[in-house]
Structure 1
């Protein structure tokens, strides 16, 4: 299974100057962002260079068609982001570290002046991420480290297509571009769930329209149905754990019940897989690996409000401009009222 935390970390170099995060964290952010900026080159130049790898040139040409579609048809920002390319010589651009208390699903947040408070910390070196994870485990926290293929600087820089994004097929690459440009289109400080769910909806609906634009048949829905069923299972487990953690139980008993909930999730997964996906083991490695609260965080971040945005999109008859206007209206609401409105749309 690929990591669900694939495109977070919307920081800029200006954010390195101040903030609530520890001072020792900032130098690696500055160095990593600077390395990325230096590695950029225009996609058009790569495509036009016969000395470059033909497969790379072909992939980038397809990505540029999707990039143009994003601005013209999905009304996403029309700028130089994803019209430049950078090869960082590694499989991920950053590694994100998620953490929660042992008996809570509330993430340990980290605050920055531009991005606001987010539910993770990003590191440009895997070793640094693992070191931070080890320190947080020593504090008794549940910790999860996840590689990230792409991220947005919210339009502060010309974000590149990265070599890490090319590990996916053409359609997946296009959807990543849609997702990242959605972050540039709208971003709400201190509300990761809103931001990621919004971008995930734009990614999903944009991908559907992109296929139709190319005259491709609708994709095989079995894979999407499996993903939705698996995500639903994880989110149900989160709800069960949330109920559990609200009970006044002794620590030892709480841990016993927590372990039982994770084992229940594994058993439900195996039943689901064997009854409905015989022979498909795409989620086995993830489900059978060590489990904790932090490992469930990315699912809530990416999926919680997607049904609400889907309902809102249908309400405006699929008009992207009207949809963005409604989402901007929601974004201006106080956090409590915004979540209440999203719950109403999700119920619809």
Structure 2
């Protein structure tokens, strides 16, 4: 009887392995990449005690510990053992993310994974594998984009390390990144990537500014410089999100009778217009004249739908969180985060 049960379970496992072979293969590849990194990390105490490690980078590692303490004590982020180890990338990227969208609709391609749910991107620790996925999606007719990733959260399944590339960031950017990723480990709603990323962005930016103000003062160059970068970032976000609405309206006019040539011409004309008008965005430093920021794209390198759906995923709900935080909770962040933890079930 036991032998029969074991044979039945083995048969089921074999069938599932064949049926979900691509998922099993991907999971093995990701697990191998994650373990390779975790195996080669060092405790931060060991790095800080290393006389050959630059003092300037040691200060950044100590700063990350300070940001962590602030996140837990002042923001209500859950304590964890994240960022207590260090991984040296030796100047090389280690993770790439593939994003895809339908060609004439701003609808992201989604991938389903056990336990953690549905994602509008797929990560790879091997660049060649990422390129293979990208080319496969292109052949299926998707608009695609490949991004290097500077950090990620394992949602508490592993101890997330400090990556050497993080130490190149300014204090404000570093605080924003660390608080963003710690937010994922505190609250992550299954099958709602847009909510998770928008929330982590909101908390990361809010927490970074508060951290800089507490550390240096509201009128310090560090706080004012960070505010300046956020001012332009918000203008750019609004501009791109307006562009997504225009693209949505354009794509709604397409029908089965619309010639492919007309779809292509009108799509790229509008995207070119969105990119061209980025030049109208300005930022005003604490002292001095407004400055027009450098453009991210040109006519030879226009973004496609995958870029715009990425913006919808990460930035579309920023005003919602800000209004809820200020209106319902009178800008009391601890109360707001406690409410979010209680309201939304997390992994």
What interval of TM-score do these two structures reach, taking the shorter chain for normalisation?
A: 0.7 to 0.9
Which position in structure 1 is the counterpart of 2:269?
A: 260
Residue 189 of structure 1 aligns to a residue whose secondary structure is coil
Instruction: State the Cα deviation string for residues 249-300 of structure 1 (Å, max 9, x = none).
Output: 3133222221121021022213336999976443334786232100122211
Which position in structure 2 is the counterpart of 1:171?
A: 172
- Please report how far the alpha carbon of residue 28 of structure 1 lies from its aligned counterpart in structure 2 after TM superposition: 2.0
- Please report how far the alpha carbon of residue 89 of structure 1 lies from its aligned counterpart in structure 2 after TM superposition: 2.6
- Please report how far the alpha carbon of residue 170 of structure 1 lies from its aligned counterpart in structure 2 after TM superposition: 2.3
Matched, 1:235 2:241: yes
**Structure 1 residues 19 and 75, CA, compared in 2 at 3 Å: closer, same or farther?**
farther
**Structure 1 residues 286 and 317, CA, compared in 2 at 3 Å: closer, same or farther?**
farther
**Structure 1 residues 212 and 21, CA, compared in 2 at 3 Å: closer, same or farther?**
farther
Which position in structure 2 is the counterpart of 1:244?
A: 250
Greater Cα offset, 62-71 or 264-273 = 264-273
Any unmatched runs of 5+ in structure 2? 1-16
Alpha-carbon distance in structure 2 between the residues aligned to 1:210 and 1:275? 22
RMSD over aligned CA atoms reads: 2.6
**Structure 1 residues 53 and 267, CA, compared in 2 at 3 Å: closer, same or farther?**
closer
Which position in structure 1 is the counterpart of 2:281?
A: 272
**Structure 1 residues 177 and 274, CA, compared in 2 at 3 Å: closer, same or farther?**
closer
Greater Cα offset, 302-311 or 181-190 = 302-311
Instruction: State the Cα deviation string for residues 183-219 of structure 1 (Å, max 9, x = none).
Output: 0110111111100010011101101110111023232
Contact kept in structure 2, 1:21 and 1:110, CA below 8 Å:
no
Any unmatched runs of 5+ in structure 1? 1-16, 334-348
**Structure 1 residues 273 and 253, CA, compared in 2 at 3 Å: closer, same or farther?**
farther
Alpha-carbon distance in structure 2 between the residues aligned to 1:319 and 1:185? 18
Alignment size in residue pairs = 317
**Structure 1 residues 202 and 20, CA, compared in 2 at 3 Å: closer, same or farther?**
farther
Q: TM-score, normalised by structure 1?
A: 0.83
Contact kept in structure 2, 1:20 and 1:112, CA below 8 Å:
no
**Structure 1 residues 123 and 138, CA, compared in 2 at 3 Å: closer, same or farther?**
same
Greater Cα offset, 196-205 or 261-270 = 261-270
Greater Cα offset, 272-281 or 28-37 = 272-281
Larger C-alpha radius of gyration, 1 or 2?
2
Alpha-carbon distance in structure 2 between the residues aligned to 1:287 and 1:200? 29
Alpha-carbon distance in structure 2 between the residues aligned to 1:83 and 1:242? 44
From 292, 302, 307, the equivalent of 1:290 is 302
Q: TM-score, normalised by structure 2?
A: 0.83
**Structure 1 residues 80 and 328, CA, compared in 2 at 3 Å: closer, same or farther?**
closer
**Structure 1 residues 273 and 211, CA, compared in 2 at 3 Å: closer, same or farther?**
closer
Residue 117 of structure 1 aligns to a residue whose secondary structure is strand
Matched, 1:326 2:339: yes
Alpha-carbon distance in structure 2 between the residues aligned to 1:163 and 1:27? 25
Contact kept in structure 1, 2:100 and 2:121, CA below 8 Å:
yes
Contact kept in structure 2, 1:19 and 1:113, CA below 8 Å:
no
Which position in structure 2 is the counterpart of 1:113?
A: 114
